[in-house]
Structures are given as C-alpha cells and as structure tokens.
Structure 1
Amino acid sequence: MRMTGLNEAAAGAMAVALGLATAACSTPAPGGAAAGGGSAAPAARLESLVALDRRVAAVGYRLTTANVDLCASRRDVAGWTLHAARQYSDALRPVAEARFGLDGDRPGVLAVADGSPAARAGLAAGDLLVRVNGQDLARGDGSGPPSHDGLAANVARLDQALAAGPVVLDVRRGDTTRTVTLQPTQACSSFFQVDPSGEYNARADGKGVFISSTMAAYAADDDDLAMILGHELAHNVLQHRPPPAPLGEPDPVPETALARGDHWTQERDADRVGLYLMARAGFDTARAPGFLRRFGADNWRVRYAQVGHASAEARARALEAAHAEIIARRAAGQPLRP
C-alpha cells in the first residue's frame, strides 16, 4: 500500500515519493507490472498512486472508526490523508507541487474521508495546513533530497493537538487562508499504507496495515479491498503474536477485546474476524468468498495451502459460513460481535 497514516491517514504519498517496496509474503504480478510503476510518466504515475491511496484511506477510515470498540489501542483522528512536497522524489516533486499546491514540509490534504471530522470542517484535497492552534507548521527549506522527516514532525504536532481536540487550523486554499475548527473522532490506532510494488502482498505488523499497489489495484471493488484490509486489521485487533522464536516465546502483548487464538489459527481467525469488521463498517461480505476464489485462480501460491494458510477454496468456504452467521445474527437482531 502506501502510507495513509502516521496520523490515521497521514503522509499518504511518502512511499510513492521514496519508491518504498515490501518483501513480506508476496506473489509477483503477471509480467512484473506494478500499479503506478516507474515506467509511466511522472504525472500519470502520481495520479495512479494517489487514486490507490485515496481508496485505501477511505476504506481504512470506515474500518477503524466502525470497529473502535473492538480495538485495545485507539487514537483521535481527523479522517484526512496528508502529504508534503519534500517527501517526493526529484521527478515527482514538481508535479506534486503543481497538482496539489504543496509547500516544503507543510502538510497538504491529499484526501478527506466521507463523513469524517475533516469533511465536516470543510477541508478538501488541495488544502494546505499552515497553522495548528495558532502555531506555524514548519515549512522547512523546501529543497534537498526526498525526506519524510519534516512532514513526520508536523504530523506529530497535529496528532498531539488532535489528542487534546478540538483543534483550530489555518488552511490555505489557492490564494486564500481561512480558519476552521475540527473536532476529532476516535478510531482504532492502526494506520494504512500503500507500498508501490509489483507483488501481490498485504500484511500487518501490530501498528499498521500495508498493501502493495498491485494488490490494491487488483481489488478493483471497494468491498474486495475491504476484505483484504479487514483481514490485516483483524491481525492487529487480535494482537496476533509472531511465530514462536527459536529461543523461546515472544514478548507478551496487551490484552485485546476479542479472543486472540494461537499462532496456528491466526490466519483462520483473521479471515473470520475481518469479515465481521467489514460487516460492521457497512461493506458487502457476500463478495468475499468469490474474491478469494478469483484470487486463488490467478495466483497459485494462494490457490494451494501454504504454511499457516489454508487453500483459497478452503478459506472461501469458511468465509461463506461466516457470512451466513452474520446474516443470521442480523436477522435475529443480535450484535455483530465476532
């Protein structure tokens, strides 16, 4: 995926800018082609990756706000995706500056989730955040090699302000600067990140959810994308441990609102809980089994059982059972709690 987070969806284009890739459990895309790959012209590459970032941010926002009661770790969020000029490569920086009105390290709004605090405050893509609670956000020198440090420092200040909210923002749009007040909302603390890559890959590390650009593009329907992100978010919600280390068990992790299960059932549990996370966020869970079957048909590593993972067909059948369970609970007026 790419970075739609630092602050819930903050720093969205950092991985686009720096060309980050991931190496976890992945399958090469046919022909090695990646969505937004480097062979495209800079403007086209930027637009392709921005479109993926916006989709992932929007789906991630719905998942994390609808399921906040299940998350042991929470934070106050605005529902925006932020980026800055200095995080972009030399090839992409002038394109991003012209396209989004970016200025050095100051956070620019890349996207705003529907119904979010940022949307209610009137923020929109192309806005530039220049002050928070009367204090200037640092511009930096606006030059030099690509760096995320300046944006990260500004986002940290915004996060601190959101945690104490509401916040007062001075926002530049074109030649006009206005002041708005934003009241944050609570969400699961996981951020979402799109990594430009030619591999089909998604993973979670306890703090974030990461998806490759190729995987995000493959999930052309938002319900399919929600299934992938919901599965990875479920790993974080369940505070899944890594496999036992050769020298002993890993360090303990905080208690979660749901039964965690053990290492050997983690993928199965993440499929089931992820489907519930989808349903609670208003996505169509009926599509999930079919998506897994299509994905298995296109990718042999998913088609057959692997260490820790059932085959695509076995997972699809388990998702069909979980979907039926969700439908039955809705019909009976029961809460959708996995």
Structure 2
Amino acid sequence: MNTPRLSFVSACASVAAILALTACATAIRPSSDDPDVVEEQALQQSMSLDRRMTLQRRLDEVAIPILERSAQFCAGNVRASLGAHIASLWSFEKEDRAAAGQILHLDDRPTVLWTLDRSQAPATPLRAGDVLVSIGGKSLPAGDDALDDLDEVLVDASRAKPRKNDGWLDAVVQRDGQSTTLRLPYVVACNYSAVAQMKGEINAHNDGSKIVVNSALMAFFPDNRDLAIVLGHELAHGALSHVGKTRAVGIATGFMDGALGGTGLAGDALSAPFSQQFEAEADYLGLYMTAASGYDIDGAERTWREFWIHTTGTKTGFTDTHPGSAKRFVAMRRTIAEIVAKKKKGAPLVPDTGSKP
C-alpha cells in the first residue's frame, strides 16, 4: 500500500531536481547584452575578419595577375588595375564594419589595404594606409559613393582612345597626415573582382561582376597553381557571357551537372540545356587564361579530377552511369597539349577557333 506513495514522493523529488537544474542553467546562461557576451562576440567577429582578409590577400595575389593578363579575352568589359586592394567601411556588411574600423583602420574613405608585387607590371607607388583623395582629376569624397566613383574612373581610363594596355593616372592621397601627389601606373584588366567568403562548401561561382570563392575551396586547393586554374575557369564563364544565360555558374554545381549529363541533380545553378557546353567552353578558355598568366598548367586535369572525386565521386552510381566527367578530363588533356605545343613554337596563346568546344 505504501509503494505508490513512495513512487509519488520519488517523482516529486525528480521534478524538484529538474527544476533546480533548470534554474541553475538559467542563471548560468547569459543574456545577449551581457558584457562578457558582447566582448566575446566582438572577438569572434575580429578573428573571422582577420582570417577572411588573410584569404583575400592570397586570392588577390592569384586573381589580379590573371585578370590583368586575360584582358584580351574579356572584350570591352575591362577596367584599369592599380595593383592594390582598396576598400572602405562600405566594402563590408553592416555587422562587420566596427571590426573593420578597429582591425583594418578603415573609415568611409577609399583606403589602400595592401599592394601586390607584380613582375609583369610597373610597381605601384601606393602604400598600405594611403587614403585616396582624388584620381584622374576626380575627387573622391568620403561616403558610400566613393568606391563607385573610383570604379568609374578606372573603367573610363581603360576605355580611353586610343586604346592602350597600360597608362598612368594622377592621384592625390592622404599619407601620414600629409597630402601627397602620385602618378599611378595601371594595367588594363578584366572588369571583375575576386572575393573570398567564409563558407564551408567547396565551391566558387561567377555572378557576372565578381568571382566569389569560398574559404573551404581555398583550403582544398592550398597550391596557388590549382587556385589559378579554378579562377581561370570561372573568369572564362564571364568572358563567354555564360552568366547572362544562367543565374550563376558555380564550380561545384556546374562541374557536377556537367558530369551528370546536365540532369540538374546538382541543383539549378546551371540550366540543364547549357551546362555541359558552357562547362566545356569554360574549361577550354580558362586553361588558356591560366597559361597566359604564367602558370604551369601541366597536369591541370588532375586538379579537376581530385575536385570531382571529392565533391561527387562518393555519390553511389554516379560515376558508373554518367561518363561525362571522363570526356571532360580527356578534353582538358588535349587542350593542355595544344597550349604546350604553342608555347614550344613561340606562338600566341590564343584559342583555336576550330578547337573550340
């Protein structure tokens, strides 16, 4: 007769214990405006920004020479490249601006974050920390329009008549509190930028104005040569106007869809009727772009093979029933042989119309 009562007492004790633990957990769990939480959030944002800027600098070192050496393939979609990364607080999302101001010492004026060592172009007299006050006779007032104004000057300079592959722009910068006049050399480049983003998917895509590269892809390709092959492929999508015919041409989805016969199983980043042809064209021109930039493309097809195996090769049955990827790798090997033969002859690294996919 006492057993039910004992069970009830035990149950009450258990409930009391749970309530006590809940109360403890509530006491330990801080609110979002807790000073320790605010401090930790700021630290994490700073660390993330610092990591992203490290990746961005590596990306610039690979991408900017490719953009400069590929101008011939980008038709009229070009701009002047100063060989420097210039940004302001408006270059960042709202939640990152406080960290950008503290870590990168940015405000709402165009500021040089770093310059590049370019063996095939004149060294820039710009220095990290220089604030651009004017360029090409155009003032760059502080604010969210300053970077747009700078872009406008760089595009206009590249399209000046008569068209040249390089030139000079007079500029005034604020350096160490002093106004300094500089003559900036520029090189005509494809009118694209390459942007690193912190994302775990091994992917990159061309959105029509910039090539976005995920941090996971940069980790997957620690060798700059392999990263250059990826960037050449993505830039080729833009030069061939593929992006205007699809919403976004991404490496992972595009490569998978091409390997799967354009079934769309990799998502709809590429429309099925175009994916295989677009990817083949980007493979072909992209290898030329990478080679023209001075990178060794020997064995480049193996880079793609490793990427494909990692991203799609684990899908049961895909490699057995869809041989499209094998055809692409063979086509790449033949393209590489074509480029190597031209190099040996000293011929221009220009795609053959008859060989175009």
**TM-score (normalizing by structure 1):** 0.69
Name the residue aligned to 1:280.
Answer: 292
Aligned residue for 1:199, secondary structure, equals coil
One-letter code aligned to 1:155: L
1:195 equivalent to 2:197? Answer yes
Q: Which sits farther off after the overlay, 108-117 or 43-52?
A: 108-117
Shift of 1:158: 4.0
Change (3 A) 1:309 1:223: farther
Change (3 A) 1:243 1:53: closer
1:80 equivalent to 2:84? Answer yes
CA offset digits 1:90-140 (Å, max 9, x no partner):
664344224333222x11112323238996331133322233356542224
Shift of 1:274: 0.7
> Matches of 1:117 and 1:326 in 2, distance apart?
20
Asked if 2 retains the 8 angstrom alpha-carbon contact of 1:77 and 1:162, the reply is no
Name the residue aligned to 1:185.
Answer: 187
Name the residue aligned to 2:154.
Answer: 159
One-letter code aligned to 2:302: G
> Matches of 2:206 and 2:216 in 1, distance apart?
17
Name the residue aligned to 1:6.
Answer: none
Asked if 2 retains the 8 angstrom alpha-carbon contact of 1:196 and 1:213, the reply is yes
Name the residue aligned to 2:44.
Answer: 41
Asked if 2 retains the 8 angstrom alpha-carbon contact of 1:118 and 1:182, the reply is no
Shift of 1:285: 0.6
Aligned residue for 1:120, secondary structure, equals coil
> Matches of 2:206 and 2:106 in 1, distance apart?
30
Larger Rg: 2
> Matches of 1:138 and 1:48 in 2, distance apart?
30
> Matches of 2:176 and 2:196 in 1, distance apart?
28
> Matches of 1:243 and 1:137 in 2, distance apart?
35
> Matches of 2:278 and 2:156 in 1, distance apart?
36
Q: Which sits farther off after the overlay, 39-48 or 184-193?
A: 39-48
1:290 equivalent to 2:311? Answer no
TM superposition outliers: structure 1 runs of 4+ over 4 Å: 116-119, 133-136, 301-305
1:225 equivalent to 2:227? Answer yes
CA offset digits 1:168-208 (Å, max 9, x no partner):
22223334442211132212223323333222222224443
Asked if 1 retains the 8 angstrom alpha-carbon contact of 2:233 and 2:287, the reply is yes
Q: Which sits farther off after the overlay, 204-213 or 178-187?
A: 204-213
Aligned residue for 1:125, secondary structure, equals coil
List aligned pairs for 1:139-158, cutoff 5 A. 139-140=142-143, 149-156=144-151, 158=153
Name the residue aligned to 1:316.
Answer: 329
Asked if 1 retains the 8 angstrom alpha-carbon contact of 2:122 and 2:185, the reply is no
Aligned residue for 2:132, secondary structure, equals strand
Asked if 1 retains the 8 angstrom alpha-carbon contact of 2:173 and 2:181, the reply is yes
Shift of 1:302: 8.9
Shift of 1:68: 1.7
Shift of 1:62: 1.4
Asked if 2 retains the 8 angstrom alpha-carbon contact of 1:243 and 1:263, the reply is no
> Matches of 2:91 and 2:70 in 1, distance apart?
31
> Matches of 1:71 and 1:128 in 2, distance apart?
30
1:96 equivalent to 2:100? Answer yes
Structure 2, unaligned runs of 5 or more: 1-40, 161-166, 248-273, 352-357
Structure 1, unaligned runs of 5 or more: 1-37, 141-148, 245-261
Aligned residue for 1:334, secondary structure, equals coil
> Matches of 1:170 and 1:116 in 2, distance apart?
25
List aligned pairs for 1:206-217, cutoff 5 A. 206-217=208-219
> Matches of 1:190 and 1:81 in 2, distance apart?
13
**TM-score (normalizing by structure 2):** 0.65
Q: Which sits farther off after the overlay, 216-225 or 188-197?
A: 188-197
Q: CA RMSD in A?
A: 3.4
1:54 equivalent to 2:66? Answer no
Aligned residue for 1:294, secondary structure, equals helix
Identity of aligned residues (%): 30
> Matches of 1:60 and 1:130 in 2, distance apart?
26
Change (3 A) 1:243 1:48: closer
Aligned length: 273
Name the residue aligned to 1:33.
Answer: none
Shift of 1:301: 6.4
1:129 equivalent to 2:126? Answer no
